[in-house]
């Protein structure tokens, strides 16, 4: 097996162990391989090991990889902050967008989603740790934003996404994920058809799964350390 295949298997084993501890079926947690900054060959290697969903946050880099991997049936997720001038490409070339934190961005994605494609699956990003450097709406603002996004015709609101602050000694690693889960459950209770909690990265996937995450975004633990720094807030994936 290749190194990427070995790492994928190790991550899958971590997910399975965490699900066992949480009393959950491992099939309830999807693995999103965060391939940003890694080349098309690395994605192809992961695909050969059975991985199908990949996360990117540099639009032009992602489009180039998609062109080189056109022969593979892959699922592409845009996971970074979404700028207004990037919405058209995201709407046209991705299956998911995880970083919606403003209605303006959601409206642009809906308006620009091609009609020959199914509605774009999206998650509203919530700033669960209150960090000024992080994107995401506040937990208090999330319900109104979710209701507005769910009403847009060319989007399908799937759930919530979060990037908690890094784990530090003496803190409750599960607390921010618990906040996200409680918010998710309250939105479902009011009638929104949500099925996705996009949370958990290489360093904290276990804490996220214990608190109900249904999709973990893993980069370093699969592909290794990045050779160039990311300029977004999800660089720890």
Q: What is the CATH number of the domain that holds 113?
A: 3.20.20.10
What pLDDT is attached to residue 228? 52
18: in domain: yes
Is the distance from CB of 55 to CB of 217 less than 8 angstroms?
yes
- State how many domains the chain has: 1
**Residue 179 DSSP class:** H
How many Cα atoms are found within 13 Å in the side-chain-facing hemisphere of 201?
A: 20
231: in domain: no
CB atoms within 10 A of CB 112: 15
Question: What 3-state class would DSSP assign to 230?
Answer: coil
Whole-number Å distance between alpha carbons of 211 and 202: 16
pLDDT per position in the chain (237 positions), as tens? 579 999 999 999 999 999 999 999 999 999 999 999 999 999 999 999 999 999 999 999 999 999 999 999 999 999 999 999 999 999 999 999 999 999 999 999 999 999 999 999 999 999 988 776 778 999 999 999 999 999 999 999 999 999 988 877 777 889 999 999 999 999 999 999 999 999 999 999 999 999 999 999 999 999 998 765 443 334 445
237: in domain: no
Q: Whole domain around residue 52: which residue ranges?
A: 3-223
Report which of 113, 110, 97, 69 is spatially closest to residue 159, judged by C-alpha positions. Answer: 97
Report which of 155, 161, 146, 153 is spatially closest to residue 191, judged by C-alpha positions. Answer: 146
DSSP 128-154: TT--TTS-SB-TTTHHHHHHHHHT-TT
């Amino acid at each position: 097996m290749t190194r990427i295949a070995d790492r994928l298997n190790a991550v899958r084993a971590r997910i399975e162990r965490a699900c066992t501890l949480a009393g959950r079926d491992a099939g309830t947690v999807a693995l999103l391989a965060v391939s940003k900054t890694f080349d098309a060959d690395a994605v192809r290697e992961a695909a050969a090991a059975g991985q199908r969903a990949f996360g990117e946050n540099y639009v032009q880099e992602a489009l180039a990889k998609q062109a080189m991997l056109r022969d593979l049936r892959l699922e592409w997720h845009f996971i970074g902050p979404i700028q207004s001038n990037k919405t058209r490409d995201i709407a046209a070339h991705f299956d998911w967008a995880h970083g919606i934190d403003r209605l303006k961005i959601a409206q642009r994605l809906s308006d620009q989603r091609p009609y020959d494609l199914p509605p774009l699956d999206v998650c509203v990003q919530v700033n669960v740790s209150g960090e000024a450097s992080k994107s995401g709406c506040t937990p208090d603002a999330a319900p109104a934003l979710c209701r507005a996004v769910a009403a847009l015709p060319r989007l399908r609101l799937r759930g919530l996404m979060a990037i908690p602050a890094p784990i530090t000694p003496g803190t409750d690693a599960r607390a921010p994920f618990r906040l996200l889960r409680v918010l998710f459950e309250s939105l479902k209770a009011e009638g929104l058809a949500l099925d996705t909690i996009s949370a958990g990265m290489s360093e904290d996937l276990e804490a996220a799964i214990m608190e109900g995450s249904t999709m973990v975004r893993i980069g370093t633990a699969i592909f290794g350390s990045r050779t160039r720094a990311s300029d977004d807030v999800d660089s720890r994936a």
